[in-house]
Amino acid sequence: MSKHEKIGPEVESSLINADAQVESFRQTRNNRRTELVEDYVELIADLIEDGGEARQVDIAQRLGVAQPTVAKMLKRLISEGYIQQRRYRGIFLTEAGQKLAELCRERHHIVESFLCSIGVSPETARIDAEGMEHHASAETLEAFKAFLARATPPRRVAGQA
């Protein structure tokens, strides 16, 4: 605390441990630095799978941003090794890019399905998942998956034990 230290009887505080809190904020800031990259790579993978190629105009249209914004971001993706680009040609995912895309798609799907499974409407789940996915740790994803497995029990053939 600052110079003006507070002492006195230990009362129930709305403040949690400072080191724990700073860790949360740091982790969250960290996630924020990668969420755009993740969304781009995931979207590029989808576009390629769907149409055989990913073009800047399509990416821009899907994201709702201007084309030069995409062009700039693609340079970041190149410098980070996720895509390759041939001038005036399309975008291709590197090995690392494909791996990241796969992770993101899976994670995105888990989060969105989970939201639906607890009663959130598909439209809202779609929107919320787009933001929440980037802050779901491996442990939380496991919990989501476990819940989904419980909520959607594996169907048995008629006449189960």
| Site map 107..126 versus a second copy, x via CB under 8 A | --------x--xxxx-xxxx
Candidate segments 73-81, 93-101, 107-115, 134-142, binder of DNA by CB under 7 A: 73-81
Instruction: Classify residue 41 as left (phi > 0), alpha (psi -120 to 50) or beta.
Output: alpha
* Cβ–Cβ < 8 Å for 91, 29: no
106 binds a second copy per the rule CB under 8 A: no
7 binds DNA per the rule CB under 7 A: no
Angle at 125 between CA 122 and CA 131, to 5 degrees: 150
Candidate segments 71-79, 80-88, 141-149, 153-161, binder of a second copy by CB under 8 A: 141-149
83: helix, coil or strand? strand
Q: Which two tokens stand for residue 69?
A: 């914004």
140 binds a second copy per the rule CB under 8 A: yes
User: What is each CA distance from 125 to 1, 63, 107, in whole angstroms?
Assistant: 40, 18, 14
Residues that bind Mn ion (CB under 5 A): 39, 42, 108, 130
**Interface contacts to DNA, rule CB under 7 A:** 1-4, 29, 33, 36, 55-57, 64-69, 71-74, 76, 85, 87-90
